Amino acid sequence: MSEYCDHELRVRYAETDQMGVAYYANYLVWFEVGRAEYCRRRGFSYRDLERSADRYLMVVESRCRYRAPLRYDDRFVVRTRLEEFRSRSLTFGYQLLGDAETVHAEGMTRHVVAGPDGRLHRFPAEYAALLSG
């Protein structure tokens, strides 16, 4: 659906286990970093969406397939793409890429648009225009 947004990161010591391998739950955190950067590059931040439109992107599904371990101090790219956009939901796809385009992990997150009370809403038009542009 859209172009990829690449954002470079490095595995920090605090993100690893005793063997120096990145802890599995951090991959979902890195997906979030990629998603936030994707939105920023399209002209808005999550904070903008929450404060000015009073809308939140709630995660309703996530998947991660681990292909090759990331280790302490490895540099990698979070590659994020908007896979599907509907009036009340969005699906993002991710890849974590290392040296020589090694795929360390790939996954997705699905989100619904909600108000502060948790009720579903349409994605605000001004932000939808930024995502589709």
Q: What is the DSSP letter of 122?
A: P
pLDDT at 133 over 80: no
Q: pLDDT tens digits, residue range 64-102?
A: 999 999 999 999 999 999 999 999 999 999 999 998 889
For residue 117, indicate whether it is catalytic.
no
Specify the pTM: 0.94
Q: What are phi and psi of 76, to 5 degrees?
A: -155, 165
Of 6, 17, 48, 117, the catalytic one is 17
Per-residue pLDDT at 29 exceeds 60: yes
What pLDDT is recorded for position 122?
96
Looking at the predicted structure, is the pLDDT value of residue 8 above 90?
yes
Mean pLDDT score of the chain: 95
What is the rounded distance in angstroms from the CA atom of residue 111 to the CA atom of residue 24? 21
φ and ψ of 97, to 5 deg:
-115, 135
